[in-house]
Structure 1
């Protein structure tokens, strides 16, 4: 029986994710990273380690793919090839840091390479997010063949032993091509993006891996030969292990593992201390090389003579165990294992005071960005406390803590229920008070909530989601009435945009006030807010017209536009769950349209997620891939204003229901980081931005996210000073007022008062105002001024 794989070496040098690794025949390694560099590593001949002999820096953006062409008479040292998000291919001699050739034909990120067998070995294949693949022969300034027909990005390309080309695409299909570029076959079976391919030439088979967590074996004739299971998340990479036999390969994925497969069986699983194992390769000596999200290249071996020393092995095992434990822990609902490692500190901050939570060892540490000219740096704030082990099966987890009971209380139709947590032995009055204060509910309900707790905790078990008694009505659901009680219940939940409450826009309700120990006795008619503000307006017929127009621009003879029937079914999502569930497949397919024309697709999502079922399906599809797409539209590199606006509006609407709310909350720091880097926006963009900030405040308060509240208290004053639209400024003041009315008001107040630029803007807004919009802004700003105890 073969020995287990153990760590042989860890190669440090990249500052961000290692997205691609390949190897040479003499067991050297080439790695490509999000830090915009590729590195050439050779065995150091002293121990099991490697030495970086060259760094290639021409790529202007992330390096996604690397390739090595073995030596020829023309290039005796071989060639290193890199491709990335700048759409460019660079070809290097290993001894030179600057490219010998630069190839520019792809119109989107270059995502994959592979060798192409010819008589001189100076040819290779490339694949791109522009949905095309190309064959290149060095010496020619242009590609010799283009493979077109996929509807989404190409993630892998290989040449079979019979010279045919195989491509794997995000459109969930595998393409088979002649060497002249003709599409011979299209294989279906995977239910998500196909990420990797490998040729088992001796068996006349090839293997594919995908985001659907499956491995599929195919005959050269295109017939399915079986499906292999074992991974639990996206599979990113696959590589052939020729030294272990004709039917042996390794795979890597998003579940922190590398799996070793032989004759269709998962022989061994290697765990890594990194969330994403982006790439895997096999050396000729049987060792396995990995590139992962922590920026480290690692080598694993079965040969005892190449095992790392005991101290290194122990440290590696401790890191794996720590990450395994952290996968069951949370801080304020944020999974510790999902936080970045210290490699994230290589990225400079976007502004002074920006916060980052970093996973270090067995805990989490908060850092803040300190602006100091050339000496700007991330400064450690301290350990972040509050992580809770979720493996306690006798408790119910809520916001990172374990409780004996977590009751669900419905307070409004169509809105998520409020959670009332309680532990045996707690003071029921304190628990009831905390519940009312957190949700800005009237203090007059204190006795009813206490009675509810005492009644329901007499039972040994109370289900967390059903079979409860509502503390306000004694029934299973609260339905607001039109009488005084509904006005009292609405309490402080007034709509700042209409002047009315959530339930009515009547003027009398807008004057209602509720006292609470957590807020000022002088009640604001504008804040605090405890429900999300959304973007409801939209005409599905107008969107359909625009989709049809753009649809005609996307196709060609080999990849025709989407049938208009599917577009008609798609826009039905705007008005509720569709009759045809395939509408969701069409939605995510069209979401891969070029950035210049994709905004009506995102607008469909914006309207669709207002409905709970749509929200659930869209938010959970492809492990929340929508969020990553939206983030790509709200960053400093996005100059398409339509995309920015619809992305901001969609993020606000996602929060309406629990699935979208969980998705946005999980990535709230990424969202905040991106929006702080946005350039100037027009009026619609400013309104979308300020509304999203307000909703993030509501989410942070709802989930008792202390760190999120602290970050927003830093960010909102800065953003407010850059806004020029009175309505957007008003909404930002509502957001600040909501934070200042929270239990964390002292910390928020200190942060806001220390922002000199904001205080100057506040004074200007308090002392000026003409017209209804500016008058509304002035009144709200004045109430913020009163809470801050400032005089102008």
Structure 2
């Protein structure tokens, strides 16, 4: 049995994730990082560690791939190649910090680099779905381009018989002639293929994937074996030089490196980092890793090269601390999802910005201090955890597990009272115990019963009047709405902002005329109304209506599937000859998803296949998802089986990298609609930090985009309150005032004010720091002041009344 791998050395120098590492024939190390640099490290014969001998800084964005090329006559010291998120390949002489060659043929991130079989040649792969072959002697232009994948390429290598293999996010391995002719696409993985390794002595090659599997392929293209062991995305694979013909190592998202011999995972060792992005091996059998904590590490089985005992102890303590953190949550956010200290290298966006950092065995809060050249992140203090969860996900309160632990505000300025409840309990007994424990009048009994049943959505016939919190008088919106009093037929979802219907399942001419006449804003994609601008400022008794707090998610439900189908057919014609082309019957089955669970179980696979369409054609595909996820069964399937594919696409569409406004608008609506069922809500919650980060970088939106954006932010406030996510509340208290200053649509402004009001009336809203975050922007306070007096129409009147309610709280 092989000796155990232990830490040999840790190389410090990068400030952000190390995304790629490569070992040279003489055991030098090249590393590429998100800090936009690549580094060359050389062994130090005095202490067995490594020295940083050169830093290459000419990449304009993250360095995603690095490579060493062996010496050729014109370059006797070899060459170092880097590829970046700026779509550029740079070639350096090892001893010079400035690039000798700059290659700009790729139109997407350069994600991988590998040597060709001939000296002085290499391959590159890109998110532009192509791979390229380069020869140093004629480097000004690539020699061959490999086109055929319909998603990003993550690995491109040449195997011993000269054929070229490509691993793609389209879940396939491409097989090509050296001249660029496609031979085959190997199908077997169920998710993005991230890496390929050739084992020529055995006449097979290996692929690794986000589906956590390792597949063995014969040179004839047959999947002869599959290895399992990883529990998360596998990012990298490398040949191990000292363990025989069938020996390799892999790294992944579950913080581990795994050592494989003859198909068996004989060793696994963990790192104190969330992601081990890259792995390579030295000629002496040592393993080199690059990870999300910005460090390069070397592991060895040789006792003479192992680190000192104190360094090994410290390393093991760090691994243990992170392992324990993986089960811990603060404010509903997993501690391991928070960034490490490397995030403090990024400058803050404005004074007072807060950042939660995973540090040591816990979480520390930092704030950005603006002081010219001395601006810095200043430690605020340790962050304490929020409400505990048991193994089943229930909330633990006073040592017992409950389905719900409600917060009830009895009196302004005093802490909220906790009201625990399990579904199926005698609600009158629970309410009575709550009143007795907190010495409250028994006259509140019926109101507390209604409060529990309404907010838990337990089996119950809702009251015929809008619900009012028994202590604060604030409205609690219910999904059913007040149907009887409004005279609306069942099947309509009442818009809490307008008092009217937000959608109807009928698409007749009369309903469209009615929407147009009521001031509806026509949806540019479906022809239906996305929202209305009419509201009632007062209720029937003439009393001022409370616009917040809200407790149910807002969704975008209007859509004409026939119009969506017509647009899909139009774009599908452009895909003829491409493997995403569908026939008309398939498109019709796909659009049937808008009305409920599919008769054809393959429809969902077809839907996700079309997510690979070019950006310009994507928005009707997203619109099908928007309508489909309203249905619980589809929401559950999409949010679980295809969660990474879907959420990655949505996050891209709402980022500043997406240049198609239609995609951004519909993606924002999809995110809101996903929240309406538990599986989708969990998916959004897991990714809510990324979503918020992307939202803050969005460019100016049109009216439809502003409404979609403000509605999603309102929903995220509701979700943060529901999840007891204080960190999320804190961030939203900063983000919403900032974004509201960039909006000019009154309806969108109103929705953000409702979001702030809902936040302020939550159990966290009375905290001094939350109110300070909201009121610290002079620009926002000035705009809000102007909105408190400006009222030239019914919509502005509604906005004005909402602002005044917020001002009363602040």
TM-score (ref. length: structure 1): 0.86
Q: Deviations over 1:642-700 (max 9, x none)?
A: 23222222221121111121122223232222222223222112111111111111111
Matched, 1:540 2:582: no
**Structure 1 residues 59 and 565 mapped into 2: Cα distance closer, same or farther (>3 Å)?**
farther
Q: Deviations over 1:117-159 (max 9, x none)?
A: 12xx111111122222111112242221122222222111111
> How many residues of Structure 1 are paired with residues of Structure 2 in the alignment?
737
> For the residues of structure 2 that align with 1:145 and 1:559, how far apart are their CA atoms?
22
Cα distance, 1:447 vs. partner?
5.1
> For the residues of structure 1 that align with 2:65 and 2:131, how far apart are their CA atoms?
14
> For the residues of structure 1 that align with 2:18 and 2:316, how far apart are their CA atoms?
21
Q: Deviations over 1:17-75 (max 9, x none)?
A: 11111110000111111222211111122223211212222222222111111112221
> For the residues of structure 1 that align with 2:248 and 2:11, how far apart are their CA atoms?
23
Instruction: Give 1:777's match in structure 2, choosing from 799, 804, 807.
Output: 799
Cα distance, 1:274 vs. partner?
0.9
Aligned residue number for residue 378 of structure 1: 377
Aligned residue number for residue 20 of structure 1: 20
> For the residues of structure 2 that align with 1:503 and 1:546, how far apart are their CA atoms?
21
> For the residues of structure 2 that align with 1:246 and 1:107, how far apart are their CA atoms?
37
Contact 1:624 1:663 in 2 (8 A): no
The within-5 A match list for 1:26-37 is 26-37=26-37
Instruction: Give 1:762's match in structure 2, choosing from 771, 777, 784.
Output: 784
For structure 2, the 5+ residue unaligned runs are: 408-413, 436-449, 478-494, 505-533
**Structure 1 residues 541 and 90 mapped into 2: Cα distance closer, same or farther (>3 Å)?**
farther
**Structure 1 residues 590 and 51 mapped into 2: Cα distance closer, same or farther (>3 Å)?**
farther
**Structure 1 residues 594 and 507 mapped into 2: Cα distance closer, same or farther (>3 Å)?**
closer
The within-5 A match list for 1:654-665 is 654-665=674-685
Contact 1:271 1:320 in 2 (8 A): yes
Contact 1:449 1:472 in 2 (8 A): no
Aligned residue number for residue 80 of structure 2: 80
Contact 2:387 2:724 in 1 (8 A): no
> For the residues of structure 2 that align with 1:678 and 1:785, how far apart are their CA atoms?
28
The within-5 A match list for 1:31-50 is 31-50=31-50
SS at match of 1:243: coil
**Structure 1 residues 195 and 331 mapped into 2: Cα distance closer, same or farther (>3 Å)?**
same
SS at match of 1:531: coil
Cα distance, 1:404 vs. partner?
2.1
**Structure 1 residues 645 and 194 mapped into 2: Cα distance closer, same or farther (>3 Å)?**
same
Q: Which has the larger displacement, 494-503 or 78-87?
A: 494-503
Aligned residue number for residue 236 of structure 1: 235
> For the residues of structure 2 that align with 1:299 and 1:750, how far apart are their CA atoms?
47
Instruction: Give 1:127's match in structure 2, choosing from 125, 128, 138.
Output: 125
The within-5 A match list for 1:224-623 is 224-386=223-385, 397-398=393-394, 403-407=399-403, 419-420=404-405, 434-435=418-419, 449-451=430-432, 472=453, 477-481=458-462, 483-484=464-465, 492-494=475-477, 496-499=496-499, 510=539, 524-554=545-575, 559=579, 561-623=581-643
Instruction: Give 2:748's match in structure 1, choosing from 713, 721, 728.
Output: 728
Cα distance, 1:630 vs. partner?
2.1
Contact 1:333 1:400 in 2 (8 A): no
> For the residues of structure 2 that align with 1:389 and 1:777, how far apart are their CA atoms?
38
> For the residues of structure 1 that align with 2:351 and 2:693, how far apart are their CA atoms?
12
> For the residues of structure 1 that align with 2:144 and 2:466, how far apart are their CA atoms?
73
> For the residues of structure 2 that align with 1:503 and 1:639, how far apart are their CA atoms?
29
Contact 2:71 2:120 in 1 (8 A): no
SS at match of 1:757: helix
Contact 2:387 2:395 in 1 (8 A): no
**Structure 1 residues 96 and 598 mapped into 2: Cα distance closer, same or farther (>3 Å)?**
farther
**Structure 1 residues 634 and 742 mapped into 2: Cα distance closer, same or farther (>3 Å)?**
same
Aligned residue number for residue 62 of structure 1: 62
Contact 2:77 2:93 in 1 (8 A): yes
Aligned residue number for residue 411 of structure 1: none
Cα distance, 1:348 vs. partner?
2.1
> For the residues of structure 1 that align with 2:541 and 2:257, how far apart are their CA atoms?
60
Contact 2:502 2:557 in 1 (8 A): no
Aligned residue number for residue 677 of structure 1: 697
Aligned residue number for residue 529 of structure 2: none
TM-score (ref. length: structure 2): 0.85
Contact 1:48 1:307 in 2 (8 A): no
> For the residues of structure 2 that align with 1:57 and 1:432, how far apart are their CA atoms?
53
Contact 1:280 1:291 in 2 (8 A): yes
For structure 1, the 5+ residue unaligned runs are: 408-418, 423-429, 438-444, 455-468, 514-521
Contact 1:250 1:261 in 2 (8 A): yes
SS at match of 1:39: strand
SS at match of 1:68: strand
Contact 1:231 1:255 in 2 (8 A): yes
Cα distance, 1:631 vs. partner?
2.3
Cα distance, 1:608 vs. partner?
2.0
> For the residues of structure 1 that align with 2:370 and 2:598, how far apart are their CA atoms?
51
Contact 2:549 2:754 in 1 (8 A): yes
Q: Which has the larger displacement, 45-54 or 287-296?
A: 45-54
Contact 1:470 1:477 in 2 (8 A): no
Q: Which has the larger displacement, 691-700 or 533-542?
A: 533-542
